[in-house]
Amino acid sequence: MIPSSTTRVAAIDCGTNSIRLLVADVGPDGTLTEVDRRLRIVRLGQGVDRTGELAPEALERTLEASREYASVIAETGATRVRFVATSATRDARNRQDFADGVRAAVGVDPEVASGREEAELSFRGATAGVAAQHPGPYLVVDLGGGSTELVLGTTTPEAALSLDVGSVRMTERHLHSDPPTPAEEEAARADVRAALDHAAQTVPFGRTTTLVGLAGSVTSVTAHALGLPEYRRAAVHGAVLGVDRVLAACDDLLHRTREQRLALGFMHPGRADVIGAGALVWAEVVTRVRDDVAAAGGTLADVVTSESDILDGIALSLA
């Protein structure tokens, strides 16, 4: 029985690497109570950076997961549904095929979020999870498969930008060896640094008091830094780690082989081949923010990880 004072909502976040579902009850005070949360690695963005189109097999994997999620939504009785698609579908010429398939599977039109809207949803979800424990301004970094959203603010976003830098995109562009060669690594770092130079013109990193990282690459790095034998959401959410500890975990994941990453108990099998690039991107972001904060006269000693992210932001928007 759903309490009369709450609204049961279903949020779907379809990114470049994964598609996720959150069914939750939203109370009158805006609190979320989780009913069901699921993740499937579908790699929708497979090859999009190179071809400009969604691959047929990637599209079918995503629609199969969408049909599964539609069944869960029906079973749980969610009355409001929002399906948000991000970087891969923004970039694809055949995104209408995706839209038609989602409408048939779920019964709602997918919204292809702009980079700014994606950043704002991520900010809302993330700060709802950490604002009570940490001071602003917050720099929220949502490191996805195809793009990375950066948004700075305290109670609302004040500056935001989406960069075409993510774990899948950087892997396909640069990191072809297992593990990557020094030349591949340097090319990827140069790409990310150029993107961050561009971002710094819009998002003033030096104003950051609390750096908050979101999404699978960041949570995997955090699990590695914590030495978790298996993935534990409760341990990862809200984890506060020193900058040096984060950078060491990133470096270790980058230089492992795929098989060595798979052997880590917390590693999702669908993330093992791209986590090296995700770790590289996160290391570059953390380093840049630390240095810009120092240049502004401050100190960034720690990094916060949030499991509340764009998915939670989508759910909150439905209330």
Equal fold, 7-112 vs 116-311: yes
More confident residue, 3 or 227: 227
User: Taking phi first (over 0 means left), then psi (-120 to 50 degrees means alpha), and beta for anything else, what does residue 152 get?
Assistant: beta
**Helix, strand, coil percent values for the chain (each to nearest 5):** 45, 20, 30
Single-letter amino acid code for the residue at 194 = A
Q: What is the model's pLDDT at position 2?
A: 55
Q: What is the pLDDT of residues 259-317, one digit of tens each?
A: 999 999 999 888 899 999 999 999 999 999 999 999 999 999 999 999 888 888 899 88
CB 15 within 8 A of CB 145: yes
CA angle centred on 302, ends 156 and 289, rounded to 5°: 65
Cβ neighbours of 133 (radius 10 Å): 10
Mention the CATH class of domain 116-311: alpha beta
Domains of the chain by residue range: 7-112, 116-311
164-208 tens-digit pLDDT: 899 989 999 999 999 999 999 999 999 999 999 999 999 999 999
pLDDT at site 231? 94
Mean pLDDT of the residues in the chain: 91
The DSSP code sequence of 230-287 is: S--HHHHTT-EEEHHHHHHHHHHHHTS-HHHHHTSTT--GGGTTTHHHHHHHHHHHHH
Domain 7-112 CATH assignment equals 3.40.50.920: no
